[in-house]
Amino acid sequence: MESEMIVIHAENAPMPGISKPGPHQRYRHPVISVEKRRLGALHADEIRVQMIYAGLCGTDVHLMESDPQTGYIRSSAPANIPETGRVIGHEGIGKVLAVGKNVRHLSEGAVVTFESIIVCHYCDVCRKGQFNQCRNAKLLGLEKDGIFGKVVDVPAMLAHDVTPIIQTDQDLQAIACVEPAGVAYVACRNTRVTGGDVVVIFGGGPIGVFAAMLCKTIFGASSVSIVEPVSFRRSFAAQWADHVYDVEAFFANMPECIDVVIEASGDLQNINRIFRNVNANGRIALLARSGTSLVLDAMDHMITNAISIIGSRGHLCGAFNDIISLYKQGRLPLHQVVTHILDGTDGFMRLVGAIDSVLYENCKVLIRFASANGRS
């Protein structure tokens, strides 16, 4: 069968003089197109899924954006864009049309949502149960064809059966957001957010908002501040934070003792600016990728106060199960982060011509590929 999919093409032109160029130093002049692709025989370990909703991530946007001077893409997340192009997208929910012969935990008709990190299970890190850092990981929609399509084939190991939870369209939209909520959840766990903590979150996009929501409602932080330069996102995020600031307003009024910093904006200079106000035994998590350097000039403060800085990637090791359970119990209103729904591939392509609206006018954007009953 054929399926309509959203594909990125880019010129593979590594920057000279860089021994191991990242994607933002390798791929340039990205072009997004809608293509009909033939789905061959279903792999034994995969499922064929009719997509219902897919979420647009900041990584997807950065894949489509390029530096106006050099033409190189903005995204530094691991990516492999072959000459034939890469189907993008890694957040979403859909209905299983068929299962491969080795798949036992899913059946036709199940509604599923997806993890986005394909792990090997046999490297030394996986064998320790640290799947987010699998040495052989492949990222859906970046290193393996993703889920921005009407019908897609997905590794069955990524799928979570959420059929019993889905009663309404609101449920579908909410569960389409489990992946970014899981990323925020792992960041909260990595920074050991607990009752009494003063938390500062840089970035009021979906992951920053989910982090604030989790810090307040699940992990019990006493104070949560979101720092965000975009006016719409500040206003939108205010319902889940105690304080919301523009960047310069925050640095003029920041708390004297900050226990946890979650950096979800990609502007790493914020870490150096806030660093001397990080409390003894403070914890800092870096989530957003920007390809830029982190520079700190207060190392004595770090040593004296035993401040920890950790990179935080992924949503594995139980985060999906916890997020789904919290939503099911009514404790995590995932759907409230959705601000706009695009109508299929046509709606997505119209957005490509006005991509800045994702940042300046929205929080989480979803693409609707079909309704729950399978109608496009």
Q: How many CB atoms lie within 10 A of CB 75?
A: 26
Q: What is the mean pLDDT of residues 57-75?
A: 93
- What is the predicted pLDDT for the residue at 370? 83
**Backbone region of residue 330 per phi and psi (left: phi > 0; alpha: psi in -120 to 50; beta: other values):** left
For residue 187, tell me if it sits in a domain: no
**Residue 116: strand, helix, or coil:** coil
Q: Are 30 and 139 found together in one domain?
A: yes
- What is the predicted pLDDT for the residue at 375? 60
Q: Are 135 and 11 found together in one domain?
A: yes
Q: What is the mean pLDDT of residues 226-251?
A: 96
Largest Cα–Cα distance of the chain, in whole Å? 62
Q: List the structure tokens of 23.
A: 């994607």
Q: pLDDT tens, 2-26? A: 999 999 999 999 999 998 999 999 9
Enumerate the β-bridge partners of residue 110.
none
Domain boundary among 272, 289, 311: 311
For residue 375, tell me if it sits in a domain: no
Number of domains in the chain: 2
Q: What is the mean pLDDT of residues 146-154?
A: 97
Q: Are 11 and 154 found together in one domain?
A: yes
Q: Are 207 and 93 found together in one domain?
A: no
Q: pLDDT tens, 347-369? A: 999 998 888 888 889 999 999 99
CA distance 264 to 316: 18
- What is the predicted pLDDT for the residue at 372? 63
Q: What is the mean pLDDT of residues 81-98?
A: 97
Q: Are 209 and 109 found together in one domain?
A: no
Q: What is the mean pLDDT of residues 330-334?
A: 96
Instruction: Band the pLDDT of 291: cuts 50, 70, 90.
Output: confident
Q: Are 43 and 174 found together in one domain?
A: yes
- What is the predicted pLDDT for the residue at 63? 93
**198 burial type by CB count under 10 A (0-12 exposed, 13-18 middle, 19+ buried):** buried
Query: Would the pLDDT of 108 be above 70?
Result: yes
- What is the predicted pLDDT for the residue at 376? 57
- What is the predicted pLDDT for the residue at 373? 64
Q: Are 151 and 287 found together in one domain?
A: no
Q: What is the mean pLDDT of residues 246-252?
A: 96
Average pLDDT, the chain: 95
- What is the predicted pLDDT for the residue at 292? 86
Q: Are 282 and 357 found together in one domain?
A: no
CA distance 7 to 152: 13
- What is the predicted pLDDT for the residue at 186? 97
CATH number at residue 156: 3.90.180.10
Query: Would the pLDDT of 146 be above 70?
Result: yes
Name the residue range of residue 266's domain. Answer: 192-311
